[in-house]
A and B are shown apart, each in its own frame.
Chain A
Amino acid sequence: MLALVPSSALLAALVAGLVGAHVRAVRSVAPPGAGSPAVRRAGRRALGWRWAGAAVGAAAAWAVAGTGTLGRGPMLAPAALGLGLLAGVLVGELAVRPRTAGRRSAALAVRRTRDVLPRRTAVAVAAAAVVLLVLLATTTALGSPDDLGRAGRSLSGSCSPSTGFSSGPWPGSYYSAPLAAAVTGGLLAAALVLRRITGRPAVGGTAELVDADAVLRRRAGEAVTAACGVLVTAPLAGALVITVVTGSHHPCPTAAGTAGLVVAGLLVPAATGLLGWCAAVLLVPGTSLRRAPVPA
């Protein structure tokens, strides 16, 4: 019974942390006194849908993690979480309906996708996606069938004509094909959500409302970027670790192979750190937009 106390305390602390983060997030979506009630309402509604998407994504990730064989389920779980997060953002943006009655105003400014993205985080996530692509292409090219003939599940080779070597698991085609499909699908979904974020109706056309509306759009863009970060960096960190561990078992590595493993090892903390940053951004909207203008 006493053994349950630490885990219960940990769970309570986690729940308290999430509630605190949520309260802070609700307040930060539209600072008190900023914008109009319509802006604050739209901000709260969007945030509510984002949390609902996170909950659905977490449930989907849990379900996906329990499926698949030889670790493919857990590998695809972050993609399920990311897709849930993206769905939440999309529904939140779809909830903003156009004004069709009375006097409506619109600013004559062109909204662009790059204006709603947090620049540094987006660049880091894009770089992580490129690294994942290069890593998967390399490991797929080097993969071999395992002892049961499953293609691309082990790393094989020979140091001499008489000695063979085979080690696994290895992130070859057995893992890389479904992972690449899931990540590509997630990134395409993110592109569609970004299109909706810039294209959805504005909550108002006055200068003050345009500014407040821009903040809401940037926070939605931030959530999409962070969701992509989770989608990319979680499998990247896992694939890097497995590559380093399995690759280090090679009995006669080449100089290029050793250098590749060193680089992969150095990238593990970078990918993990970016994953943590994206999780923080999702928990506390506005984290990556501290320098963005906030409606007065």
Chain B
Amino acid sequence: MSPVPQLVVADDDPTPPYEQVRVQLAELVTTGALRPGDRLPPLRQLAADLGIAVGTVGRAYRELEVAGLVVSRRGGGTRVAPGAAVAAPARGGARLEALALHFASRARGLGAGDDEVLAAARSALAALARDERGADSSPAPAHGRG
């Protein structure tokens, strides 16, 4: 049985709570942690558990619905959209886009400008490349003894 996905809302995060919820849910859908047809908790339940207003969760759900990631039906709750199945885990592009969106949203929340965000991304890529080169040039670890 796979563990139940979780959401986190932090007061010290400058990102608005609705955006924290939206970004995390979008990531869970696009990475396949939430599958098409999976039901999301009712607004009141999630709002009570996270200690935020019902309207805050409602705004996050609405934006996800506009993005085509979830569908809401009166009396049927909110579920991961069937279309998200094709778009999400199978397509690397969508996953990458979601991860970039998450990063950009958090960076913007810290007050970083576009140039700074891009510079940070390039710096991270450069650091990864250095790590990979280092791993390639280092001697292969010995397996077994003797």
Q: Interface of A with B (CB < 8 Å)?
A: 98-111, 198-202, 205-207, 210
Contact = CB atoms under 8 A, between A and B. Distances in A.
Interface stretch (B3-11, B59-67, B106-114): B3-11
Interface stretch (B40-48, B81-89, B92-100, B125-133): B40-48
Contact of B49 (A103, A205, A207): A205
B4 A105 contact: no
A110 B41 CA distance: 5
Contacts of A205: 6-8, 49-50
Interface string B53-82: 000000000000000000000000100000
Most A C-beta atoms less than 10 A away, residue of B4, B42, B46, B49: B49
A262 to B, nearest CB: 45
Contacts of A106: 6-7, 9, 41, 46, 49-50
Contacts of A102: 10-11
19 contacts: A98-B49, A100-B51, A101-B11, A102-B10, A103-B8, A103-B10, A104-B10, A104-B50, A105-B8, A105-B9, A107-B5, A107-B49, A108-B34, A109-B4, A110-B40, A201-B51, A205-B8, A205-B49, A206-B6
Contacts of A207: 3-4
Given A110-B39, A110-B42, A111-B41, A98 B48 contact: yes
B28 interface: yes
A202 B5 CA distance: 15
B48 A107 contact: no
Contacts of A199: 44-45, 48
A90 to B, nearest CB: 16
A202 B42 contact: no
Nearest to B25: A108
Nearest to B24: A108
Contacts of B46: 106, 108
Q: Which 10 A-B pairs have the closest CB atoms?
A: A106-B49, A201-B48, A100-B51, A98-B51, A103-B10, A107-B4, A202-B49, A108-B5, A99-B51, A105-B8
Interface residues of B, number: 24
Given A103-B10, A103-B11, A205-B6, A111 B45 contact: yes
A99 B42 CA distance: 18
B34 to A, nearest CB: 7
A108 B42 contact: no
Given A110-B42, A207-B3, A104 B48 contact: no
Nearest to B34: A108
B7 A105 contact: yes
Given A98-B51, A102-B10, A207-B4, 4 more contacts: A105-B8, A110-B39, A110-B41, A110-B42
A210 B5 CA distance: 12
B11 A110 contact: no
Nearest to A100: B51
A108 B6 contact: yes
Interface in B12-50: 12, 28, 34, 39-42, 44-46, 48-50
A108 B4 contact: yes
The winner among B5, B8, B51 for most chain A CB atoms within 10 A is: B51
A109 B28 CA distance: 13
A263 to B, nearest CB: 40
Interface string B113-143: 0000000000000000000000000000000
Given A106-B6, A108-B5, A108-B6, A201 B41 contact: no
